[in-house]
Structure 1
Amino acid sequence: MAYYNIYPVLALYLSCFASLSSAQDLKLPLKSVNLGNWLVVEGWMKPSLFDEIPNKDLLDGTKVQLKSTKLQNYLAAENGGDSIVVINRTAASDWETFRLWRIDENSFNFRVSNKQFVGLSSEGTNRIVAMRDAPGDTETFLIVRKDGEPNRIRIQASNGLFLQAISDTILTADYGGSGWDDSDPSVFTMTIVGSLQGEYQIANGYGPDKAPQVLQDHRNSYITEEDFRFMSSNGLTAVRIPVGWWIACDPTPPKPFVGGSLQALDNAFTWAQKYGLKVIIDLHAVQASQNGMEHSATRDGYLEFGDSSIQDTVEVIDFLAERSNAFKFSHASVQYTHTHTLMKRDCNQQMCRYAKNPALGAIELINEPWAPLVTLDTLKNYYKAGYDAIRKYTSSAYVILSNRLGPADRKELLSFAQGLSKAVIDVHYYSLYSDMFNGFSVQQNIDFIYNQRGSDLAAVTTSDGPLTFVGEWVAEWAINGASMEDYHRFAKAQLDVYGRATFGWAYWSYKCQYNHWSLKWMIENNYIKLN
């Protein structure tokens, strides 16, 4: 009978198991930082990523208003949609605003406020209407911009003819002229009143030929192993990593998204373990968008997350939880051979595939759902399903529930989360985005942190309830010309108050073109000290 020495295998197994077990032993509260704009792009943080996109001011979700130079009126979707397009508005608001869906650098769909699309009438009259729920060929238009005057345009329909304003209530696609004079009925001025620079915009903007390389280069350079070493050596204990729903479809996610973010997340786990950091996976962007903001990877700014989105989103959470906690040992998964090399290789590939990355601290089920469009009942139903999905794979990882933004009770999740083991409530505190901060002095901002934010955090931090997490904050404010000492005091106030959160806090962000938004810059320039 042949003798097989299984001790090397058992030793490797026990090593993997011990490493995985210790991964969840978090030392709370965490001091962490968001790796924003890495796996979910936010153009405001690094606008140069978009520089090489042709017609980069006309990306998906760009809001435009169109005015006839002949009639001097704005185009409008009558009743917001499901009707004709008219040219009788002297001022522009919602019904006069169209959101672009980009087909290529010159071709677009126009979506109206009722979420329908502008197109040719099905009655064969060449009238322009806004009645289709999904765009097709007859809803696709070419925007022709005048050389030297890019906001002076003509719009070519799928029949090869141009839109013309015949009267206040008649817009047709039957003009064959080529002039640019104000009196030409096919000439319009286009005013851009809103834009998005998220993952959808960059991927669709560059297109399938260029986007994979652009995003791979960005992911490989924006956050590296050296950054994890820097974070660890400067007092941070965790990273919060925003990811998008398409990561679960890697390496071939639905268009226009491109693969590669999953490999980057794997790298982050490896580096986190090496430098003693924990990882918080944050589902920042969900299919259908939970808040309409570019960081949710929305196409056009509409929030469409609801009950029908729950199952798809839970499947993403299930994927992330399974991948992050995949650790199985069975005799069938290990080949007992005379050579240690094969045993080690098979173990690494099968039994210990993710045991080498035992850094998972928590999974956040969604980022910043917006009230009231995302209802509390919908959110609770999703949170329960997402929590159960995670618990199939781990009982030790924390599950983070984000409070809703907008008009919502800050304590609305407390009773719900009380019944969940290792649950965390995430609150985001910025001293921006509200007119109330515009007149504040330096001391008023600091007092607001100690008093109001301290009270806000205390209200959701209970002795018998879920833990609390200030998942986003930044040492920036609505003050111009503040001194370094002012910023230092403001940052210290937030560290003092948010340090009371029982799960911890996470600065937004590690890197950013704006210095005070970049924790790396703040640490290097002695604005913040964590050690």
Structure 2
Amino acid sequence: MKAQMQLAKALTLLSLLAISASTLPQDAQDALSHVGVNLGGWYLIEEWMFSNGQFDRVVEMSDLPQGVVMPPLLPDGMGENWYGEGDLINKIATKYSDDFAVQVIEAHRQAYVTDEDIASMKSANITNVRMPLGWWAFVEESTKSESTLITDPAHSDMRFVTITHDALIGEIQRFKDAGLNVLLDIHAMPGGSSEGSYSGIFPSTPMFWDDASLMKLGNSIIESLCNFYLNLDDELRDSITGITLLNEPAHNMDIDTYKPIMTNWLAGAIDIYRKKVVEGGKDGLESVPKLFVNLIGTAMSDQDMLDFFHATFTPSELENWAVLDIHHYFAWDGGHNGCYEEDSCSFQCSDSATEEGLDNIKGIVRDGAESSHSFFFDNGTIPLVSCSEYSLATYDTSEAACRGQSILDAMFLGQKKSFKDQGLFGAFFWTWKMPYGGAHENAWSLKKFLGLGS
């Protein structure tokens, strides 16, 4: 009975964005082509997702490594904490051995997303999964039959375990068999292309935009990604409905210095995609994967994003395959956030105790969600706009963020309805599961929110 109630809740909450020709008018279907969830913490490891209840900061801190465990082989950790994937693997290799480091990461990859997880995603009306990947998925070593240890070209103390193409194909096949489509998303480039643990090299300084040889290597990563897609069997290729060339490029780096360098490189990377996949590919224009061009306000203004899009894409490309992808998080939205800390947020979590207070919270959430992408609809002619990351977090410290069910429900339903009403092309929750995230799990795990376990 409990399992039936949990599944009923999942289906009810996700029905707002369920895609079904028999229940939604065509314009609504078109606006909701990608109903998705991220697979964060799987092939791209971020420290805070493995903090095991010992830390609650969502934002990484250069003076405090928050990574604690890496199950199944290191369920209790290794006696010292770690910052990001490169630091984790380097510390395992240094303390134990290179071979054991590979074994730990491979065991994690094989165990993290189960067949039961995929079945639950399908039952909850998810149509697409977004797979964050590091550059180590598209290097020459990735074409080998077994994963191997490689070193970041700019940081000798940051090491990574390659993701073999055979393994990646096998996972895409699993989703294909379940009727789920895949968005392949490169989250990190050699040397580090953003501040943050997802860059792979945190807390070291990102070097990608300062080194022409690294950016050239980045071009080869993009070419390898395109070739990987083009060489897939027809059926698997059809299941790749989206590609992101780089997540949050130059995030939290000096805008004046890095914006022109980043946008110049990104335009070149887009041209590689255009020539190889769109113009030189095997598919017609209708079936080419949408290119989710992810940009972030910490690296450029909204107006600069619009200007970049109109300078980079033709009207036909904007209509057919170029998607402007902007993340939206209430956790860093000072005008619409909520917490348990007195007078520091737009609303207090305790306000939900009264009907009037809860209505006020719902209004704040609606306002924040409705304004999430409004600039791009109001001030430009960009037909395809997406949000490939959002969550239920009301604050950037999970212990201080709201965790009452009524507020979480308001966050979920308010964002879902707003994304639909705005006409977003896609919306992806971050993330499917976070079983080792401690307090983070409440607002960042879709599986947990839907009552389907950790």
Same fold at TM > 0.5: yes
Structure 1 residue identity aligned to 2:131: I
1:220-259 CA-partner distances (Å, limit 9, x unpaired): 0111333222212211110111100111122445232123
Q: Given the alignment of the two structures, is residue 488 of structure 1 paired with residue 404 of structure 2, yes or no?
A: no
Check whether the contact 1:39–1:261 (CA below 8 A) recurs between aligned residues: no
Q: Given the alignment of the two structures, is residue 447 of structure 1 paired with residue 363 of structure 2, yes or no?
A: yes
Counterpart of 2:285 in structure 1 is none
Segments of 4+ in structure 1 off by > 6 A? none
The worse-fitting range, judged by mean Cα deviation, of 374-383 and 438-447 is 438-447
Check whether the contact 1:473–1:506 (CA below 8 A) recurs between aligned residues: yes
Check whether the contact 2:403–2:442 (CA below 8 A) recurs between aligned residues: no
CA RMSD of aligned residues (A): 3.1
Structure 2 residue identity aligned to 1:258: V
TM value normalised by structure 2: 0.67
Unaligned runs of 5+ in 1: 1-24, 51-60, 65-98, 100-149, 151-191, 328-351, 527-531
1:308-387 aligned within 5 A? 308=212, 309-326=214-231, 352=233, 355-369=235-249, 370-373=251-254, 375-387=258-270
Q: What percent of counterpart residues are identical?
A: 23
Q: Distance in 2 between matches of 1:48 and 1:39?
A: 19
Counterpart of 1:41 in structure 2 is 45
Deviation at 1:407, TM superposition (A): 6.2
Q: Distance in 2 between matches of 1:486 and 1:524?
A: 15
1:359-438 aligned within 5 A? 359-369=239-249, 370-373=251-254, 375-395=258-278, 396-406=288-298, 408-418=300-310, 419-420=313-314, 421=317, 422-433=321-332, 437=337, 438=344
Counterpart of 1:503 in structure 2 is 425
1:519–1:482 distance in 2 versus 1, CA, 3 Å: closer
1:296-307 aligned within 5 A? 296-306=199-209
Higher relative contact order (CA 8 A, sep 6+): 2
The worse-fitting range, judged by mean Cα deviation, of 490-499 and 261-270 is 261-270
Deviation at 1:279, TM superposition (A): 1.0
Pick from 231, 240, 254: which aligns with 2:150? 254
Structure 2 residue identity aligned to 1:314: N
Q: Distance in 1 between matches of 2:291 and 2:426?
A: 14
Counterpart of 1:201 in structure 2 is 87
1:360-408 CA-partner distances (Å, limit 9, x unpaired): 1111121112255363322222222211222233221111222224263
- Whose helix proportion is higher, 1 or 2? 2
1:114-153 aligned within 5 A? none
Check whether the contact 2:47–2:84 (CA below 8 A) recurs between aligned residues: yes
Q: Distance in 2 between matches of 1:386 and 1:227?
A: 33
1:284-303 CA-partner distances (Å, limit 9, x unpaired): 11112222211110153312
Count of paired positions: 340
Check whether the contact 1:426–1:468 (CA below 8 A) recurs between aligned residues: yes
Counterpart of 1:235 in structure 2 is 125
Unaligned runs of 5+ in 2: 1-28, 55-60, 66-78, 152-158, 279-287, 338-343, 353-357
Check whether the contact 2:102–2:149 (CA below 8 A) recurs between aligned residues: no
TM value normalised by structure 1: 0.58
Structure 1 residue identity aligned to 2:245: L
Counterpart of 1:519 in structure 2 is 446
Q: Distance in 2 between matches of 1:263 and 1:491?
A: 36
Check whether the contact 2:185–2:244 (CA below 8 A) recurs between aligned residues: yes
Counterpart of 2:23 in structure 1 is none
The worse-fitting range, judged by mean Cα deviation, of 243-252 and 365-374 is 365-374
Helix, strand or coil at the partner of 1:358: helix
1:257–1:450 distance in 2 versus 1, CA, 3 Å: same
1:520–1:389 distance in 2 versus 1, CA, 3 Å: same
Helix, strand or coil at the partner of 1:361: strand
1:450–1:26 distance in 2 versus 1, CA, 3 Å: closer
Structure 2 residue identity aligned to 1:387: I
Check whether the contact 2:148–2:162 (CA below 8 A) recurs between aligned residues: yes
1:122-155 CA-partner distances (Å, limit 9, x unpaired): xxxxxxxxxxxxxxxxxxxxxxxxxxxx9xxxxx
1:314-343 CA-partner distances (Å, limit 9, x unpaired): 21121111111226xxxxxxxxxxxxxxxx
